A = this chain, B = another copy of it.
Amino acid sequence: MVTRPEPDTQPLTAKGQATRERIVHAAAELMFRHGVAGTSTPAIRDAAGVSSSQIYHYFADKEALTRAVIEYETRRIVGAHEQLLLRLDSLAALRAWRDVVVRTVRGTHYAGGCPLGSLSSELAEHDPDAREALAAGFTRWSGAIRDGLRHMIEHDVLRADADADKLSLAMLAALQGGLLLTQAQRDCAALEAALDTMIERIEQYAVGSAG
């Protein structure tokens, strides 16, 4: 995709919004399957059922479309985790979140990895804007885990000396690394071991635990 003049910046009509979303969804699906480099404008055009000029109307270039895909995947994935983590009020609820993650990955037969992790691995060194958008997505994600842990501290499930900032970063790293290993090994063992070990560490901050 070559760079074109800036697209129309007027507010979108409902129909325009729907067309833009169809393009982003199609691009996200193709980029998840084939990577950003392996996704061409004609492929997006055919998958979205739009014309190339419609794509250029909404997105100045491939970088702009890629950023829209990052925002879409962040909303979709991190948004879903936020729903699960927002009101964590017990260790059982934390384990239920873990079970949803593992069940979702099993449902994909371990294929694909995490869309945000894969985009980050492909783009971090070549597209600084994409890297920053992905970093912001990961920060929002660990923030959701942190808020869940803080909620547990406020509700006297975890002791106040539990470092929610550190544990949430560690949990997100365990999740991302577990997804990466699961993708390579076609086996959920590393993901389960990583999440379970992190939860065991958190359990040692349970109120009443010796720590």
Chain A interface (Cβ < 8 Å from any Cβ of B): 33-35, 37-38, 111-113, 117-118, 120-122, 124-126, 131, 134-135, 138-139, 142, 165-167, 169-170, 172-181, 183-186, 189-191, 193-194, 196-198, 200-201, 204, 210
Contacts and interface: CB of A to CB of B under 8 A. Distances in A.
A60 to B, nearest CB: 22
A186 B135 contact: yes
Nearest to A209: B210
B200 A124 contact: no
A201 B121 CA distance: 28
A180 B179 CA distance: 11
Given A125-B112, A200-B201, A185 B117 contact: no
12 contacts: A117-B121, A121-B121, A121-B180, A121-B183, A124-B184, A135-B186, A170-B174, A173-B178, A173-B180, A176-B177, A176-B181, A200-B201
Contact of A189 (B111, B118, B169): B169
Contacts of A38: 37
A210 to B, nearest CB: 6
Contact of A194 (B113, B138, B173): B173
Given A172-B190, A173-B177, 16 more contacts: A37-B37, A112-B125, A113-B121, A121-B121, A124-B184, A135-B186, A166-B197, A170-B194, A173-B180, A173-B194, A174-B177, A176-B181, A177-B179, A197-B201, A201-B201, A204-B204
